[in-house]
Amino acid sequence: MGVVGSVHVRLALLWTSLVFIIFLATGSVGFIMRLSQAGILSLDPKTWYTLITFHGQANAVIFFLAPLMLSRALLSQYLDISSRISILSSALILLGIVGVAISILLGRMSMAWYFLYPLPFYETTSGYLTAWIISVLMIGIGILILALDSLRASIKKYGLGGSMAWGYIVGSATVEVPPIVLISTVGNILMVISIASGAVLLTAFLLQNLGVVEAFDALGAKNLTFMFGHILANVALVYAIACIYEAMPSYSGRPWKTTLPVALAWNIAFIAIFFAMYHHVYMDFVQPRATHVLGQVFSYVAAIPALTVTVLGVLSQVGVHRLGGRGFHMVPTFILAGTLIWVIGGAAAVIDATIPANFIFHNTVWVPAHFHTYYGYSVVVFVIAITWHLLRGMGFELTRPLWLLILALITIGWILHISSFYIGALESIPRRYASYLALPGDLPSVGSSLAMLSALGAITYAIGYIPLLYLTISSIYRTLRRRI
Amino acid sequence: MVEIINELRGWLFISWILLVIGALIIAYIALLRTGKDPAEVYRFRRVLLIALLIGLFLGFAASVIAYPYPEFRGKPEAYVRVEGVRFTWIMNITVVPANKPVAFLVTSRDVNHGLGIYTSDGRLIAQVQAMPGYVNELIVVLKPGKYYIACLEYCGIGHHIMITTFEVR
């Protein structure tokens, strides 16, 4: 691997260390929220909703940044991406993260992670809201600069059509385009759209907060919110998968190149991820019906390339690795586990993207069920695997029983944890409720029992996660110290 | 309508479990078949692609029949105006006629809320967003009994107590 010890690798490793540490805090916050719902702790509603705001926003950002920085580290083998821009953007993003955390926690901002307009004007104070908007804009600008820098480098080398592998589709490919370039390009273009819509929205927030405008349209704001949030959440996986395409051949020994199916898959995914965002507004009956149909069609379409190209590709790579008698290695094993659980969450997402199903699952705990499946597990496990893939290039390996034990603990823990959400949805439990006590029927008791199950799952997960955190951070620390 | 919705929820859950089991079987087969003959995987991909296309098309066609939107639900015979206000629901009537299509005209005075209709035993049977500046029309047919409206879009620190009741007679 030609990237060992480069600035991009070091920066990615620093970022993943930070992300793993922050995740311990954000995860603990989730655990405390569940204990409160279970009746073991008693948080007042303002604190509970402030914590869920922190939990959601922090996790959305850190598990976007880790795959982004890891993919840039691997991308730097092929593209002349700027290390100066990486460092400057990282500093800007870091400042933004600190600003967001301080404004939420000190300002007790309780508007939930996607800050649906006009809720922030009711649930925050003006000063903290301004500080928060500026901090989020800093994170957004940092991400935008990184996406534009990668795009600049790939367009310079391959052209836009080349970076999107269009030559493979029309049969005129002359230069080989590595899958990581294609997949990152898809992610980067989507992120430019996402950040642009987020920036328009936040500028409108700022204008209202400063008293320049009185109010703006709630439905328009909601569409912008999901254009921003939906793409951000999906592209986190896109960047992680870009790294997987790059990493897997090191273990299987079989190349994973861009071919017609891969090129088609990612061009379809590009369009499907964008239009699938309309599945977030199914329950707004006044929204033009065509967008609802588009949302459902493209949510279904998104599943096709994911399963027939990426998932099958991972399975084939792992299969070759296994049959090749190369012995156990944690990287392909973790990637296989993350992929299988991703399919479970993806199937749940396809069901929720079906309009009549959304009618009874929207804003129940089915929603956190599916995204905790592939965020709390798949993205986390992918980030761990890719971090260790980079560390492996620097001479680190770990023994089999330990990694399997860690993987078993976090897998069992997470299955228990997410099953509390899936069963909760079957019981009609709404999401984002500080307490279930006012709900009808047996929902108060069912809700608190499931919160307890969720907390027990999280403890099991943590028993696996804490040694993993220690191993990863200490190895990164030793590596970085050795290289300086 | 309540029975159908409860059955639908069960079936959706079962279909999710079946999808998961199907995916695991596919994974198992794919893992066994690869490595020996790479061409086998591509044949498998074609089968998977066709199965997915047929499954998703059928799923889509079946779902359209059950779309909850007003134009798919027939003409209402009664109207209820509901307005969400942090953290309560204001209804112009609290007794709703039974066994006939009733339109809930739903809006909000402040932030986004979600109107979720629950049966008295705690089952969610219908929902629609309550958005400031817009009126969403939700048409339902309800059996006699007591029903609850719970807020289904996070609206602030009293979100979890924004619950009211109405009677269907």
Q: What CATH code is carried by the domain that includes residue A363?
A: 1.20.210.10
CA distance B54 to chain A (A): 11
Total count of domains within chain A: 1
Residue A172: the pLDDT is 87
pLDDT beyond 90 at A156: yes
Residue B46: the pLDDT is 85
Residue B42: the pLDDT is 66
Does some domain include residue A129?
yes
pLDDT beyond 50 at A1: no
**Closest chain A residue to B53, measured at CA:** A304
Q: Name chain A contacts of B53, Cβ cutoff 8 Å.
A: 304
- pLDDT tens track for A439-484: 999 999 999 999 999 999 999 999 999 999 999 999 999 888 875 5
Q: Which among B30, B122, B156 has the least Cβ separation from residue A122? A: B156
The whole-number average pLDDT for the span B95-111 is 96
d(CA B136, CA B131): 8
| In chain B, residues 115-154 whose CB comes closer than 8 Å to chain A | 116, 118-129, 131-138, 148, 150-154
pLDDT beyond 90 at A325: no
Between B3 and A135, residue with greater pLDDT? A135
- Which of B153, B145, B163, B152 lies closest to B3, judged by CA? B145
Q: Name chain B contacts of A49, Cβ cutoff 8 Å.
A: 154, 156-157, 159
pLDDT beyond 80 at A14: yes
Residue A388: the pLDDT is 94
Q: Which among A304, A360, A426 has the least Cβ separation from residue B49? A: A304
Give me the domain span that covers residue A231. 7-483
A422 contacts chain B (CB < 8 A):
yes
Cβ–Cβ below 8 Å for A116 and B163:
no
Residue B14's pLDDT band (cuts 50, 70, 90): confident
Share of chain A above pLDDT 90, in %: 87
Between A483 and B75, residue with greater pLDDT? B75
Does some domain include residue A152?
yes
- Which of A113, A31, A110, A103 lies closest to A64, judged by CA? A113
Helix axes B2-33, A400-426, angle to 10 degrees: 160
Q: Which among A311, A347, A441 has the least Cβ separation from residue B19? A: A347
- pLDDT tens track for A34-54: 999 999 999 999 999 999 999
Cβ-Cβ contacts under 8 Å for A22 (sequence gap 6 or more) = A58, A62
d(CA A322, CA A155): 37
Task: Provide the phi-psi class of A94: left if phi over 0, else alpha when psi is between -120 and 50, else beta.
Answer: alpha
Cβ–Cβ below 8 Å for A432 and B154:
yes
Residue ranges per structural domain of chain B: 2-65, 74-168
> What's the CATH number of domain B74-168, 3.40.50.11740, 1.20.1250.20, 3.90.1150.10, 2.60.40.420?
2.60.40.420
CA distance B81 to chain A (A): 16
- pLDDT tens track for A64-99: 999 999 999 999 999 999 999 999 999 999 999 999
pLDDT beyond 60 at A373: yes
Q: Are A14 and A404 in contact (CB under 8 A)?
A: no
B72 contacts chain A (CB < 8 A):
no
The whole-number average pLDDT for the span A165-180 is 93
Q: Is the dihedral of CA B105, B107, B109, B115 positive or negative?
A: positive
| In chain A, residues 92-131 whose CB comes closer than 8 Å to chain B | 110, 112, 116-119, 122-123
Residue A310 is classified by DSSP as I
- pLDDT tens track for B135-169: 999 999 999 999 999 999 999 999 999 999 999 99
| CA distances from residue A6 to A12, A13, A15, B20 in whole angstroms, order as listed | 10, 11, 14, 41
Interface test with B, best of A248, A294, A308, A352 (most B CBs within 10 A): A308
- Which of A193, A240, A192, A182 lies closest to A65, judged by CA? A240
C-beta atoms surrounding A470 within 10 Å: 11
Residue A300 buriedness (CB in 10 A; 0-12 / 13-18 / 19+): buried
A-to-B residue pairs, Cβ atoms closer than 8 angstroms: 227
**Closest chain B residue to A431, measured at CA:** B152
Beta bridge partners of B150: B116, B163
Residue B40: the pLDDT is 65
Cβ–Cβ below 8 Å for B128 and A283:
yes
| In chain B, residues 17-36 whose CB comes closer than 8 Å to chain A | 19-20, 23-24, 27, 30-36
Between A174 and B29, residue with greater pLDDT? A174
CA distance A433 to chain B (A): 5
Q: Name chain A contacts of B132, Cβ cutoff 8 Å.
A: 118, 218
Cβ–Cβ below 8 Å for B122 and A427:
yes
Q: In this structure, which amino acid lies at residue A11?
A: L
pLDDT beyond 90 at A362: yes
Does some domain include residue A323?
yes
| In chain A, residues 297-356 whose CB comes closer than 8 Å to chain B | 297, 300-301, 303-304, 307-309, 311-312, 315-316, 318-320, 322-324, 340, 343-344, 347-348, 350-351, 354-356
A430 contacts chain B (CB < 8 A):
yes
d(CA A272, CA A353): 13
Cβ–Cβ below 8 Å for B159 and A434:
yes
Q: In this structure, which amino acid lies at residue A84?
A: R
ipTM for this prediction: 0.94
pLDDT beyond 90 at A272: yes
Q: Any idea which of A168-177, A215-224, A441-450, B114-123 has the lowest mean pLDDT?
A: A168-177
